[in-house]
Structure formats: C-alpha cells, structure tokens
Chain A
C-alpha cells in the first residue's frame, strides 16, 4: 500500500511520516499523466492514429505547465493543513489524556500544585515589589532621557533634604535659575520640592484635608512631557514672579477621590494652607510625581513656595544662595550623552559658583574654598525619578527576591521528585505503550503535557499566594506621613502575572524533562520482557538524581535559614537598642496649626494651651513637646561656638538641635547627669538656656564642670556673643533614628524661639496608652475644632514603624526560610518512603539474618544523615557567603555569627531526622517473612 493512501487517522495512530514534498509533486504529475493517457485512448478509439491522438490530447489539455504548478500548490497546501490539524488534534488528545491521568491522582496534583503555588507565588510577590520600586520607569514621555542632578562637595549653608534624595542633591533656588539660563546640554531643567498641604474649600467651612503637595518649576511638566487630563498644566509663564502665581494643578487620584472627578473644577479656587489658588488643570491618571513613595495631591508653582508653605520662612529666603532645598532633574538634548551633559553642566556651574556663591561662603579656609570651587555637577540616570526609597530598599529587595528565587528552586526540586516517583509508578504502563510502538518522543511530550497542566494550575494558584504575600509585605510599610513611610501601590499588575506564568511554566517544563526522559528510558521494554512482573523506579541514575535533589534542597534551606536567623537576630538587636529613654506608656501626636491658618504667634500660644489641655485628660501623668518629632528620620543641625573650645575655619562644630518643653526629660525618662530641667520660667524674656547631651559635652571638651559654660548657635545667636548658658547635661538619647550612632545634641526651650511651627507631643500615661489615645483628638478639638491631629500613635509603635525595613526583611526571610525547609522536609520524606519501599526485600533479608529494629532504623537514618549532612555542609558555605553579602543590612550582628549558624544546623538536623524517622520506623516494623514474600 502506498503511504499516501492511508487515511489520516491511521497514519497518525501509527506515527507514520506524512508526505514529503517530492512525493506530493509526483502525485500531481501522475494525475495529469493519467488524464492524457485516457484522452489518447478515447481518441484512438475514435479512429486517430496513436501519435496524432497523443498530440491532440496535449493540445486539448491546454496550459499543462500552469496546471501542474497549480496542482502542486494545492497539494502542498493540503499537506500543510493536514499537518496542522494533526498537530492540534495531537495536543488536544495529549491534554485530554493528561487531565484523565491527573484526575486519577488528586493527592499528587494537590501536592505538586501547592509546591508550585507557594514557590512561584512568593517569588511573584517579591517581583511585584521589586518591579514597583526598582524597575518601573516614570510614566512619562521617553523616561530614558531624564537625568538627575547633584552637586556633592563642601559648602556653608543649610541643607533641607527629604525623601526625594540625599542632601548633596539639593540646590539653591538662585542656582537653579542661573543654570536654567545657560547652555547645559539639557533640553530643559526642572526643580521640585514637597510640602505639607491642607486643601479646603475657599470659604474654609468644611474641614480641610491634609495631603502631600509639590512645588514645581514651570519647566517641570514640559520637561517630563506630561499632558493634562483636564485643563492645562504649568508652563514657564506660570512660574516667573515670586509670589505672583496663585494657581494649582491637581493629581488625578485626588481630583477623583476628593472632588468626584468634577470637570468644572478648572477655573475654580481651592484654599491651600490658607492661600486661595485657582485650579488650572488635572494631571493624567497614573502620574504621581517624580518621587517614589510620595504622591502629591496638588502641584503649585515653585515661585509660590514662601507664600504657601508655612514652614519655609520669609519670602526673602527664596533668594538665599546658602539655602539648599531644591531637587533638580533635566532631559538630555537630542544626541547628548550623560558624560557630555555632565561636562557642559559643570562648565556652566563652576563660573556661577566662583562669581556668585564663593563670596558668600565666609569663614571658609583656603583649602576648603579650593574644593568648593572645584565642585562638579553629578548627572545620573533619572528614568526612575528621584527617591531615597529606591536606595534604601534596593538591597533588602534584591535579597528578598533572591530568597524567593531559591524557594522556587526548592519547589522545583520537589516537583521533579514527585514526577520521578510518579513516572516510576507508571513504568508498566509506559513500557507497554513503548512496546506497542508509541514513539519515545511522543510519550515524553505526553508526560510534559502533564507537567504543563500542573504548572498552569500552580501558576493560577500562585496568584492567590502572591496576593497574600503582598498583603503581608504591605502591612510592614507604614503609610506616608510627615517623616517616613511610603505610599506604594503593591498589586498584581499584568507584568507580575506574566512573570508568575513564565516562572510556573518554566518550572513545569524544565523540571518535568528529566523525569519524563527517565520514565520513558528504552531499557524499560527489556525489563518488561525479562518478566520482572512490575517495574520499579530503582534505577541508579534516578536514585542518585533524587538524593542529589534532596541534598541541594537542604543546602538551599540551610543558606536561607541561616540568613533568616541573621535577620531575626539583627531585628532583635534593633529592638534591644538602648534609646536612652523610657518609651513604654508614652503616646505621641503632632500638630501643624499653620495648616489651619495660624500665624506663628498664635501657633506658639496654642502649643502651650494644648499641653495644659492634654494634661487634664484622665490617665495622663505628664505631657511635653518637642519641635522636632523624635525617631522619624527628621533632623536639624547647626554650627555652634562653645566657651573654651577653639574653632578654626575647618573645625567640625556641627551639632544636632531640638527645641523642647519644660518637663521633656522627665516625661521621656531621659536622665539628667547634671544641672536642671527646663522650667516654665525659661520664657522668651528670660536669659537663653540650653541642655546639652553627654556626646556634646565630650565633643566640645566641656570638662568636669559643664553647667554654667556659655555657647552660641550660628544663625540664632547675635554674632560674636555667647548668649546661651548651659544649665544641664542629659543622658545620650536617640534622635532621628534608632540604628544610627547617637549624635551630639543641644536642647533649647521652644518658648525662647519664635520660629517654631510644628510640635510633636509626648504624653506619659499611668494606664495603658491605647486607652488615652482616643481621648487626644477630643482634647485638641476642645481648643479649636479646625485643628487636625497628625501621627497619633503610641511611641513604641512609631519606633517600630521607623525600622519597618528591618522588620519586613526579618519576618519575610523567616517565612520564606520556613517555607523552604518545609518543602525540603516533604521532599526528604517522599524520597525515604520510596527507597524504604524499594529496599523492602533487602531489609527483610537483613532482619531474617538477625538485624533488629534499631539496626534497620540506623540504616535508613544513615542515608538521611548522608544526604542532609552533605547538603548542610554546602549550605554552610553558601550561608557564610550570603551573610557577608548581607552584612550592610545587618545591625549589631556579624554575617558569620556562630550562635545563628549553630542554631541553624541544629534546627535543620531536627527537621531532617523528624522527616526521616517515620519511614525508618516503618522499615523497622517490617515482618521479615512478609517482606520476603513480596514480589
């Protein structure tokens, strides 16, 4: 029979080759040949001679060559169609068979799917955060062209930096305007600065909403290439005259949530921090400013800074060249490289420094002045915007992502192991199919289809795990507020779902391949023929492969457990830091009355009255305030002159500052080493006083009698006088964050200062602080209903939130390590149960020869010890390397901490023996006779 006469179904069933192209062409030729022959025959019958008949047949046929071509074409097309149809049929059939096979073993499916879901889900969640914080560029026009500017180097003046970047990235307003006017290799430069905004209706009748605001230069939106969703955005003309542009642009989300997406808002007014601003437009949805973790609700022209931000100070400060407070970015002009932009910017920057800034840098030594004049502009990739969050979270996120990657690997090993066992159990079925003529390729495809189905199910389930993990991650990140925290949208975006799908499928294919190849190995038939009855999976290669999988799993678990141990230990150290104060039974809140239209004088009057009002709340023992909220990442600094301390041009005379109420040290339990606490009599009209910290006393050599010495603070004290008397020395206490070394510190009474606009209150309670917490807003409202209370929480909670990254890394790495170890233990259990079943006969013989249960258990547990021991050893090396790499994330603990390593090894040993004991015990309970009878 010719192959082409076989029906397609039969052809497929027997896996016969489909027609080759040359055969298809020959068929077409044969068809024409037959036609010509029959026609000739007909003509001969009609009386023509054979030769004439043949010529006539060809003539009547017409365009033979053209017809041949057409027939060839149609045959080829037919073949192709058939091949596609067969392939689709094949896949559908494989799928049906796979589903049928899987339905028969729900336990296996459940185990495999949960392994994939747990591994891939945690990995996808980590990827989601990773992508949100580190990968995704700003949603603007060609983000790759954006560059961030910085100007590191020495300078005199005040820095004001925030979440948008480190302190050497801020410029003065005057410098920004100067740079804008010179050629810089940039298509445009933009400046921005966040502020705290209270947004209300023009009449001010309704309670204003607190929100994040952003001052932006007129070039901000044009440089980004952002188009309005409504109305228009700022242009250069909206940002020319200081204080002269009472306009605003709203964020899309604020416009939607607070104004119900009212499109008539354009042209209407809003009251922002007491100023009436006309709304020009709304930015597009998805644009949330250029600082990750901050979501401005409102954009205001930069020239309005002094008029709208109560914390800024007088309008003249705008032109202060020694006040550095603006973050700058730009867009590269077409064809300009980063290096060329840097060179051109520096060429523009240095002459401005020399002509305009250098004369103002008084008191600088010649050497420092030389370095000041040589400062260069730093230009870095700006596609992700400007944010310190990216820098602080990069290492922890990379670590978590890598950790979950390892969890995926461990889960993969589990899948491979499960599939191997399953393949072994189906040896007879597969051998029969092979001997009946099924091709190995086809059977492998069939088995891979099964693992793909598992992968798809696992991938779907992993989205649930990813969602839950994201919720867990999100619960660690405090909401954006004054000092820290971040507004992030942690969600399963399409990229994340795609990622999860790809990882899950990769898992299924990659780790299904060896088991599939192994299950269909050719020697199966021989074994079937040899009459072994049933075929076991006790193939040497597979056994070795599977115990190496377990070894690898334990190695990875060891590494993960050790690093988790380090982070937990580190977290413990963070919790154990001696803050130098008693934080239990203390609650805190912050007031910013200027947002409700208070002037500085009224604010200060209010601050004192709030202290009295809160003191009268039942359960309150004492109340005190500090102008700088403690342990929120905020910091104030200044240079001081101290009696008896030599101060040269380049001497470091910097200290941190804070302004506090009477009773501050008592309320927070900060011990006074010498002198006295501030009292109510330290008023504005009394002599100026200060309490310094022990670190300050050491730095400025105050000697044995610090109390009574005099000092002055640059910018606050009249020039050339030492107008402040030191009246006490306080114990060193933490200032801006828990983990940094406690700096030298000067406390002054805020009542002697006219610039205080913010007050953080600390309330010591006699009962549990949670009970008093709810009474605070009411107490404040008794004084003024329009005031809103910010950051109301217990002090310990605020401190916990300030170390949220440590907590997140510690808890998550522990969760992932536990997950990894659990998976490894499951795997070990599976492998042991299987080998014990295989060795039943051997064990039976041993027992018949006199081995007792203990001996048999020993045999099995030795196998465990070998697998786990080698794994732990490899894992130990990995753990030490990992510990060294993660050193920068650790606090107060070394990457090779022997206690942590020791505990990890012990834990791993317990888990391994636990997983191994049951199979070992089962082996020791075998009845020798039964064991020998089997098979």
Chain B
C-alpha cells in the first residue's frame, strides 16, 4: 500500500462533488472511486465522507434518492445538483490557480550571485 496523504482541509467536499459528476453514486461507490482515482494516495475516513455528504445535501449542492445496486441491494444514490456544478466549477478554478501559484513559488530557485 502506498503512503496515504492526509487530506487538505476543505477538499473532501470538492472531491465528492467531482466524483458525482461522473454518475450518481452511493456512499461506498464514492469511496471506491476516490481510492481508485488517487491510486490509494488519498485516504478518506468513511464517517468523514458521510458527514461531507450530509453537508452537501444541506447546502443543496447534492441531492439523494433511493435506488437499487446491480446486486439488488437498496442504496441511497447521491447526485450533483445544478447548484453543485456551479460550486464545483468555481472551487476547481480556485484550486488550479492556488496550485499554480504554490508550484511557481516553491519551484523557483534563488539565483546564485
């Protein structure tokens, strides 16, 4: 198992929303998706995920309906709302800019005199 990075605070919500842009998923599918996408580099505690889902639902960024899994199990499927998409786009843009700036600063070497 590769080293598991701790999650930067506030990023879980964005990651969950991103996951939901692919398809409506139930909680375990989201966890699996995140583990697969990050190659196991990002570890999310399951309870934190459900808390994030609760938050997103309360803010109207995600919505949920009961459905059935391929194995015929009853599961709650979450999907991203229109509002969620707008939020995700804004957050993504900010993240990208943030990452660029950070990278720029951190990779600039002092010029030797």
Contacts and interface: CB of A to CB of B under 8 A. Distances in A.
Interface in B45-100: 45-48, 50-51, 54, 57-58, 65-66, 73-76
A60 B58 contact: no
Interface in A45-77: 60-64, 66-67, 70-71, 73-74, 77
A74 B54 contact: yes
B54 A35 contact: no
A262 B51 CA distance: 67
Contact of A35 (B46, B51, B74): B46
B27 interface: yes
Interface in A37-51: 37-39, 42
B48 A62 contact: yes
Interface stretch (A26-34, A766-774, A865-873, A900-908): A26-34
B46 A39 contact: yes
B47 A61 contact: yes
Contacts of A646: none
A30 B57 CA distance: 18
Contacts of A495: none
B28 A34 contact: yes
A5 B66 contact: yes
B47 A66 contact: yes
Given A2-B66, A31-B27, A35-B28, A73 B46 contact: no
A5 B64 CA distance: 11
Measured as residues with beta carbon below 8 angstroms from the partner, the interface class of chain A is 20 to 34
Nearest to A34: B75
A392 interface: no
A70 B75 CA distance: 18
B28 A60 contact: no
A580 B17 CA distance: 100
B50 A71 contact: yes
Contacts of A32: 50
A677 B85 CA distance: 106
A789 to B, nearest CB: 77
B105 to A, nearest CB: 35
Contacts of A62: 45-48
Interface string A91-114: 000000000000000000000000
A39 B46 CA distance: 10
A4 interface: yes
A493 interface: no
A77 B58 contact: yes
Interface string B27-54: 1100110000000000001111011001
A61 B54 CA distance: 15
Contacts of B32: 42
Contact of A64 (B47, B58, B66): B47
Contacts of B65: 5
Which of A30, A63, A64, A74 has most B Cβ within 10 Å?
A: A74
Nearest to A66: B47
A67 B27 CA distance: 12
A356 interface: no
B66 A67 contact: no
B57 A74 contact: yes
Contacts of A37: 73
A471 interface: no
B74 A30 contact: yes
A38 B28 CA distance: 7
A81 to B, nearest CB: 10
A78 interface: yes
A61 B66 contact: no
A70 B56 CA distance: 12
A371 B15 CA distance: 98
A4 B65 CA distance: 9
A73 B54 contact: yes
B66 A70 contact: no
A35 B58 contact: no
Which of B45, B47, B65, B75 has most A Cβ within 10 Å?
A: B47
Contact of B50 (A27, A38, A39, A70): A70
A67 B26 contact: no
B76 A67 contact: no
Contacts of B27: 31, 34-35
B54 A71 contact: yes
A63 B28 contact: no
B73 A34 contact: yes
Interface of A: 2, 4-5, 27, 30-32, 34-35, 37-39, 42, 60-64, 66-67, 70-71, 73-74, 77-78
14 contacts: A4-B66, A5-B66, A31-B50, A32-B50, A34-B28, A35-B27, A35-B31, A35-B46, A37-B73, A60-B45, A61-B47, A62-B47, A63-B47, A73-B54
Pairs of residues from A and B, 3 with the lowest C-beta to C-beta distance, nearest first: A62-B47, A61-B46, A62-B45
Given A27-B66, A35-B46, A77-B58, 11 more contacts: A5-B65, A30-B74, A31-B26, A34-B27, A34-B74, A35-B31, A39-B28, A42-B32, A61-B46, A74-B57, A74-B58
